[in-house]
Amino acid sequence: MVGRYVSLVGVVISLALAGCGSSESGGGAGQAAESAPHSGEQTYNRYCFSCHAAGVAGAPKVGDAESWAPRIAKGPAALLQSTIAGIAPGMPARGLCTSCSDDQLAEAIDFMVLRSQ
């Protein structure tokens, strides 16, 4: 059952992202890029939001530049590694997204960082 769900989610995400980056819709490439959602936004909204929007268990709130600054200073590889491994006591490994690829996690991190600088 879980395998079917994961497969279905993969298909839905693939279909949803299939149109991203296309500049053939009206308005030109600049407008399409501005209105296109960030690739990590879906992962953030599904798995990260519950802690990072409110600062649950010490999670840095998205948009709080002061809280994010020391984390961002460590670089994207360190942020990804701590997401994969988790940070005791509050950050579970992979943010409880066991079906997320490392790339999806990196995109969610990027989404949060861009909104927190």
- Pick the more confident residue, 24 or 106: 106
Contacts of residue 23, Cβ cutoff 8 Å, sequence gap at least 6:
29, 32, 33
90 or 69: whose pLDDT is higher?
69
| CB within 8 Å of 77: residues ≥ 6 apart | none
**81-86: average pLDDT:** 97
Pick the more confident residue, 88 or 21: 88
In degrees, rounded to 5, the angle at the alpha carbon of residue 88 between the alpha carbons of residues 9 and 110 is 45
In this structure, are residues 90 and 51 in contact, taking their beta carbons and an 8 Å threshold? yes
pLDDT at 22 over 50: no
